[in-house]
Amino acid sequence: MQSLTETVTPAPAPAPAAVPKPASAFDCDVLVVGGGPAGATIATLLAQRGRDVILAEKGHHPRFHIGESLLPANAALFDALGVREEVERLGLAKYGVEFVSPEHDHQAMIEFVEAWDKTMPYAWQVRRSELDELLFRNAAAKGARAIEGCRVRQVRFDAEGASVDAELDDGVKRSWRARFVVDASGRDTLLANQFHCKQKNPKHNSAALFGHFEGATRLSGKAEGNITIFWFDHGWFWFIPLADGVTSVGAVCWPYYLKTRTKPLPEFFRDTIASCPALAARLDRATLVCEVHATGNYSYSSSVSSGERFLMLGDAYAFIDPVFSSGVLLAMKSAFAGADVVETTLDRPRRAARARRRFDAVARRGPREFSWFIFRVSSPTMREFFMYPQNPLRVKEALISLFAGDIYGKTPIWPSIFALKALYYLVSLGNLGRSLAFWKRRRANIRDIEVSAS
């Protein structure tokens, strides 16, 4: 067994065989495409169960990735993988979420300890480069054949398994036969693109620009690690403090706003920050310490999440607006559910269809439950709910539970979530003028996106 610091180096390309390999000759049980949280998690679980797993990562760890904020529900998954102590060491404790609105004269704070289930009081802010490497090395230590610098180009399925074509950094071509393929390729969406089943979200689409700062003004004491959400005219900002003193700052906005850029990206980012005075004050003495990144076409999903010999996990299946920091949780949770599907398919194929239906339900549940709030996060009514949180019918506790990621267990939050949604519609109707103005503006933004994409 390897230590967590070792890396499996790619084996030399085999000499061409004189006779083609029979289709039934498999190189591994499972080939996992992508070495992020989803891929590393399922590779670890399957290797621990005795499966021969190849984990192919196109890059080299550590590599930059956005999405540094975790949820309390991640803790149980880290426990199951045996890495929680390392995550504690890498991360900065996150006890809650602060909301700042230009339309209100105060800041609002919710804490995870106020959730229905009080046993998940905090999460972490982490550098994704460090977390992803930890999970990847853990998969290798648990028995997966983890290969870096290996980009999978194509997967060809047949009646018995799949042929996976890849290319190493040095241009050498590799091909493996696998009984099952897991697509955890993230926003590359390997199989969704190959199957032409990737769909932009028709209700919500956004773009982002982001960077890291040193010297930002943080909250004090226990709240130092809390994430702050700032609303502004074109969307919202995240403000994520990291353990090493760096703060991740990003703007999620309508793509039309990025199209107005007429200057270099760093200057445009500074101008965007200046349009949010509360955030600009916290960055007044801060220094940008990394390249500014921009990305568009944020929200999408695949029309399928699984097939007879494949699964799509995490961002390879769907990506939603990151306002509630759900990305890593959804990726890892889908990996835990997916491991059972792979086991069932390989050992009890007659039960595979039922296992896939259960997996599909898990894969769809997270994006669906978070998306209802994401679509409305900038609406006047939802802002009022966040800025003046109340707890009739335990709706506040239920909402915080959802934000903590407690949506897969037995915590009885759903009647209260239903009540919260009903309250939202009632309050929106009571303020019909402002509600209609918001949705009219939102519809215009989406229409602008559709026109520019056509």
% of the chain surpassing 70 pLDDT: 91
Give 25's contacts (C-beta < 8 A, 6+ positions apart): 177
For residue 252, list its beta bridge partners: 208, 236
Looking at residue 376, what is its pLDDT? 92
Looking at residue 447, what is its pLDDT? 62
Looking at residue 5, what is its pLDDT? 33
Looking at residue 205, what is its pLDDT? 67
Give 273's contacts (C-beta < 8 A, 6+ positions apart): 237, 249, 251, 279, 280, 283
- Beta carbons of 155 and 191 less than 8 angstroms apart: yes
Give 85's contacts (C-beta < 8 A, 6+ positions apart): none
Looking at residue 8, what is its pLDDT? 40
Give 398's contacts (C-beta < 8 A, 6+ positions apart): 116, 413, 414, 416, 417, 420
Among 301-310, 378-387, 436-445, which is the least confidently predicted range? 436-445
Q: Could you tell me the two tokens for 330?
A: 């959804």
For residue 198, list its beta bridge partners: 302
Looking at residue 428, what is its pLDDT? 96
Looking at residue 411, what is its pLDDT? 96
Looking at residue 10, what is its pLDDT? 43
pLDDT (mean) for 47-56: 98
Domains and CATH numbers, the chain: 28-81+127-200+300-369 (3.50.50.60), 93-126+202-295 (3.30.9.100), 371-453 (no CATH)
DSSP output for 199-246: EE-SS---EEEEEEEES-----GGGGG-EEEEEETTEEEEEEE-TTSE
Euclidean distance between CA atoms 50 and 31, whole angstroms: 14
Higher pLDDT, 67 or 440: 67
Tell whether the model's pLDDT for residue 301 goes beyond 80.
yes
Bridging pattern class, strands 28-33 and 173-183: parallel
pLDDT category of residue 16 using cuts at 50, 70 and 90 = very low
Looking at residue 424, what is its pLDDT? 97
CA 243 centroid distance within chain: 20
Looking at residue 200, what is its pLDDT? 85
pLDDT single digits (tens) 157-204: 999 999 999 999 999 999 999 999 999 999 999 999 999 999 987 677
Q: Could you tell me the two tokens for 188?
A: 């590359």
Looking at residue 228, what is its pLDDT? 98
pLDDT category of residue 446 using cuts at 50, 70 and 90 = low
Q: Which H helix or E strand runs over 213?
A: strand 207-214
What pTM was estimated for this model as a whole?
Answer: 0.91
pLDDT (mean) for 16-41: 80
CA 435 centroid distance within chain: 30
Looking at residue 14, what is its pLDDT? 46
pLDDT (mean) for 39-63: 98
pLDDT single digits (tens) 211-263: 999 999 999 999 999 999 999 999 999 999 999 999 999 999 987 888 889 99
- Beta carbons of 192 and 198 less than 8 angstroms apart: yes
Bridging pattern class, strands 246-253 and 207-214: antiparallel
Q: Where are the beta strands (DSSP E) in 324-431?
A: none
Q: In what order do the strands lie in the sheet with 318-319?
A: 198-200, 300-302, 318-319
- Beta carbons of 52 and 203 less than 8 angstroms apart: no
% of the chain surpassing 90 pLDDT: 84
DSSP output for 298-311: --EEES-SEETTEE
Higher pLDDT, 403 or 299: 403
Mean pLDDT, the chain, rounded, equals 91
pLDDT category of residue 24 using cuts at 50, 70 and 90 = low
Euclidean distance between CA atoms 119 and 115, whole angstroms: 9
Q: Count other Cβ atoms within 10 Å, centred on residue 380.
A: 17
CA 286 centroid distance within chain: 27
Rg, the chain, Cα only = 23
Higher pLDDT, 453 or 358: 358
pLDDT single digits (tens) 122-162: 999 999 999 999 999 999 999 999 999 999 999 999 999 99
